[in-house]
Amino acid sequence: MGKDLSAQIDWRFGRCPFFVIVDPDTMAFEAVPNENSIDVAGRAFCITHPEMLLNKGVDLVISGNIGPNIYHMFHVAGVDIATLTAGTVKEAVEMYKSGGLSIIGAPMPRRVKEEISMLEARSKSLRQELEQVEKRLGELRK
């Protein structure tokens, strides 16, 4: 519920005051305010947050509770979700690194989708280059 690694995990994803984005390898973090956490009627309003988090490269979300709409958006985008109702951000990341969190897996993690896309583009480029090389070899052999 704060904005650093000692912040307590907020069990309400849509109403948390900050999203703390952590690189688990370096423990570097960024706290992003949840500016639209409550609408004028006092309800949680976070439909734009999945996109903002995806743009920041998030591929795992740890929260106490994630509603069905946000869950679906993350799931389709390939973001894994773990639920944890108590502890600090640092403890949650350490639990993740040690395999102590139960991950609700996406059909294919976002990072895998991105790597597949990059490799497909590279493969296409290499095929085109190979066609040009074979064409030139054919011309030289005539």
CA dist 99 and 24 (Å) reads: 12
Hey, what's the torsion of the CAs at 94, 99, 102, 105, to 10 degrees? 110
Q: Give yes or no: residues 19 and 70 share one domain.
A: yes
The count of domains in the chain is 2
Q: Give yes or no: residues 125 and 141 share one domain.
A: yes
Q: Distance between terminal CA atoms of the chain? A: 73
Q: What is the CATH number of the domain that holds 29?
A: 3.30.420.130
> By CB neighbour count within 10 A (0-12 exposed, 13-18 middle, 19+ buried), where does 16 fall?
buried
Tens digit of each residue's pLDDT, the chain (142 residues)? 578 999 998 877 877 888 999 999 999 999 988 876 555 565 555 556 678 888 888 988 998 888 888 888 888 888 888 888 889 999 999 998 888 888 886 556 666 777 788 889 999 999 999 999 999 999 999 8
For the chain, count helices (H), then strands (E).
Answer: 4, 5
